[in-house]
Amino acid sequence: MPFQYYEDVIEDLDLYKISKIILEGNADGRVLYIIRNAVDPAVCEKIKSNFYEIMRIKGNHRPDDGFVKTEQIGSSQFHKTGMEYINATLESDADVLNLYQGMSDDVVRTLYMDKQLENFFSQEKISYRPSAFKSHNANFATTRRWLDNGNMSLWPHDDSAQLKFAEQDGYEIAAAKNVISSNLCVCDAANGGELKVWNCRPDDNIRKEFDVLDTGYPYPLAFADSFESFTVRLKPGDLYFLNASYLHGVTSSVENERISSGRFIGYIDNKVVWWT
């Protein structure tokens, strides 16, 4: 079977496809499920407006760390232990809340299909919740404006490697077998800024070869391009669920217009948890 993905409009939403990717890492061999028009573009426009206002007043939550160039609101577990991540979450929490100014609680709970997935998994006797460390919950979502890094806005990477940091102090996400990325397109780029996924799931041997054992970022583009791949263009309001244990990245976009908002999801011991 060719390396491909599923795609539906919101009216044809199939929660079983989402659940299969979360629970098993793929849905009939597809590692990505895109739901087109999942969120009203007017809601995305409001998030975009709030994002730029918060950025103007408060500044970037993620200064240049030598890895990814972004303007960001919300914490990231990348390169952090559980304690470090939760501390960063507490510091950014007020700005994350203000990102949803002018939206009802019901609208916010539909951005990543929390209401639908909570109900779906409860029928399977699986809990669905934010991950927790020392009784403190993970960030709701992290929102980023991607800044161009040259050949790619976001270089090829896998998001499972960073769980090694969570192992250091027993943060529950370390036990996730697959890291699923749930991302909402808030603002697309006029040129470039496309999601690209390669049919390669790196293990520790490959990570050691490229000196990315604890980060999974970045892999050489030439290495990634030796594998079968697909590229997807996303529009405001599109939401996707991707097995981010596979190599993926974002193509170059010099306009720096692309804004996305998202989180990670993992299935661990009869519970589905998320973090950022």
Given a contact cutoff of 8 angstroms between Cβ atoms, the answer to whether 197 and 5 are in contact is: yes
Alpha-carbon distance values, 39 to 42, 108, 124, 240 (Å): 8, 10, 26, 11
36 forms bridges with which residues in the sheet? 9
Question: What pTM value is reported for the model?
Answer: 0.95
Question: Counting Cβ atoms within 10 Å, is residue 56 exposed (0-12), middle (13-18) or buried (19+)?
Answer: exposed
pLDDT of residue 136: 98
pLDDT of residue 153: 80
CA 69, CA 169: separation in Å to the nearest integer? 28
Residues 185-225: tens digit of each pLDDT: 999 987 778 999 999 999 999 999 999 999 999 999 999 99
pLDDT of residue 150: 64
Which domains, ranges and CATH numbers included, belong to the chain?
6-275 (2.60.120.620)
Mean pLDDT for the stretch of residues 134-140: 97
Task: Indicate the residue type of 266.
Answer: G
Mean pLDDT for the stretch of residues 179-189: 95
Question: Counting Cβ atoms within 10 Å, is residue 248 exposed (0-12), middle (13-18) or buried (19+)?
Answer: buried
CA 263, CA 141: separation in Å to the nearest integer? 5
271 forms bridges with which residues in the sheet? 127, 268
pLDDT above 70 covers a percentage of the chain that reads 95
Given a contact cutoff of 8 angstroms between Cβ atoms, the answer to whether 273 and 129 are in contact is: yes
pLDDT at 266 over 90: yes
Residues 66-102: tens digit of each pLDDT: 566 779 999 999 999 999 999 999 999 999 999 999 9
**pLDDT range class, residue 268, cuts 50, 70, 90:** very high
Q: What dihedral angle (degrees, nearest 10) is formed by the CA atoms of 115, 241, 259, 153?
A: 160
Residues 24-54: tens digit of each pLDDT: 999 999 999 999 999 999 999 999 999 999 9
